[in-house]
Amino acid sequence: MMTTIFIGLCGSLGAVARHLVGKWIKAHCSRYSFPWATFLINVSGCFALGLALGSAGAESLASALAHSHPFTTGFLGGFTTFSTFTVEWLELWQTKNRLAAMLYLLFSGTIGLLACWTGYKMM
């Protein structure tokens, strides 16, 4: 039960961090129609996940996840957001900003995976 509560607290901290980092990024990138805040938050979260998994020193990724779940499931789960990504992608598509929508889709997946792999390999 205490682990569940701790994961919830970490998730709350991740959500607050996402809100604050998102506000800061939007304040500095407001002239662009590309959803930089969500993109950068998700990519940095992927990198942090890779670092966490790589530093766990476990024999398998499943074992590494099991030992780092307050940070990975809690904080990073609250910090990153797939649902906001999908809404922002749909908004770009519906406003006929098709190139930005396709680049957002391509870069989010590709760079997110590369960031996770890089973080993992660094450890």
Task: Determine the pLDDT at residue 87.
Answer: 96
45 is in an annotated binding site: no
Task: Determine the pLDDT at residue 112.
Answer: 98
80 is in an annotated binding site: yes
Distance CA 101, CA 67 (A): 36
Task: Determine the pLDDT at residue 92.
Answer: 97
Task: Determine the pLDDT at residue 40.
Answer: 98
Task: Determine the pLDDT at residue 67.
Answer: 76
Residue ranges covered by each domain of the chain: 2-122
Task: Determine the pLDDT at residue 66.
Answer: 75
pTM for the whole structure = 0.92
Q: Three-state SS string across the chain, please? A: CHHHHHHHHHHHHHHHHHHHHHHHHHHHCCCCCCCHHHHHHHHHHHHHHHHHHHHCCCCCHHHHHHHCHHHHHHHHHHHCCHHHHHHHHHHHHHCCCHHHHHHHHHHHHHHHHHHHHHHHHHC
What are the pLDDT tens digits along the chain (123 aa)?
A: 899 999 999 999 999 999 999 999 999 998 888 999 999 999 999 999 999 999 887 778 888 877 778 999 999 999 999 999 999 999 999 999 999 999 999 999 999 999 999 999 998
Residues 6+ apart with CB under 8 A from 95: none
